[in-house]
Amino acid sequence: MTRAKDGLTGSVPSLLFLVLSLLAAPLRAADPITAAQAQARASAVTQVVLGIFSYARWPVEPMPLRLCLVGPTEYADDLIKGTVQNTGQPMRVTRLLADDRQVAGACDAVYIGKLDAGQRDRLFEQLSGRPVLSISEADDPCTVGSLFCLRVSDQQVAFEVNLDSVARSGVRIHPSVLQLSRRRAVQP
């Protein structure tokens, strides 16, 4: 009986190690993106965002365009560095907290990172009825709030357009951009 008990006791740590190793395998299989990949994605996102801005028209053209980054973002590094749009018009970039009450009056465009549902709802309540172009970076279904929703990968940056949000925003978007969203991807 002692021998069987000793064999069982010795195998429990081995079995536990095996189970933990198997559970950790999927975590090791998902390679983190490299610094070069992250920079390439940020650069491609910046090109797409600036391209969208160049096809947007506000009721009164903002000078400079006030872009606010709201929430934790993954691909906004190059946007922060930018001070000029593709059209040559000046741009001022500010980072704000999700619940900051300045968003509605201080931003012509918002680039939205990862927010929880409550933060998103409060943000879009503030923006309601104001001519603010919103672009969502996080993987959301693009059915509520944001005008544009980015889909980022190593091969491409694609985006979806929420036509209902565009219609209610007060910002006019050139039909060419709307047609681009129907394509599978926008190449960086």
What's the confidence (pLDDT) of residue 180? Answer: 73
Same domain, residue pair 14 and 100: no
3 or 43: which leads in pLDDT: 43
Same domain, residue pair 2 and 68: no
Is residue 92 included in any domain, yes or no? yes
Tell me what the mean pLDDT of segment 4-27 comes to.
Answer: 39
Is residue 157 included in any domain, yes or no? yes
Same domain, residue pair 77 and 20: no
What's the confidence (pLDDT) of residue 183? Answer: 57
Residue 7: domain span:
1-30
What's the confidence (pLDDT) of residue 188? Answer: 43
**Residue 3 reports pLDDT greater than 70:** no
Domain holding 55: CATH number?
A: 3.40.50
What's the confidence (pLDDT) of residue 27? Answer: 35
Same domain, residue pair 147 and 164: yes
pLDDT digits (tens, 9 = 90+) for 61-111: 999 999 999 999 999 988 988 778 888 889 999 999 988 988 989 999 999
How many domains are there within the chain?
2
Taking the C-alpha atoms of residue 45 and residue 164, their distance in angstroms, rounded to an integer, is: 23
pTM above 0.85, yes or no: no
137 or 3: which leads in pLDDT: 137
**Residue 11 reports pLDDT greater than 60:** no
Is residue 187 included in any domain, yes or no? no
CA atoms within 13 A on the CB side of 164: 5
**Residue 179 reports pLDDT greater than 70:** yes
What's the confidence (pLDDT) of residue 13? Answer: 36
Report the range of poorest mean pLDDT among 15-19, 22-26, 42-46, 54-58: 15-19
What's the confidence (pLDDT) of residue 17? Answer: 34
Token pair listed for 136? 């969502």
pLDDT digits (tens, 9 = 90+) for 111-164: 999 999 999 999 999 999 999 999 999 777 787 789 999 998 888 898 999 999
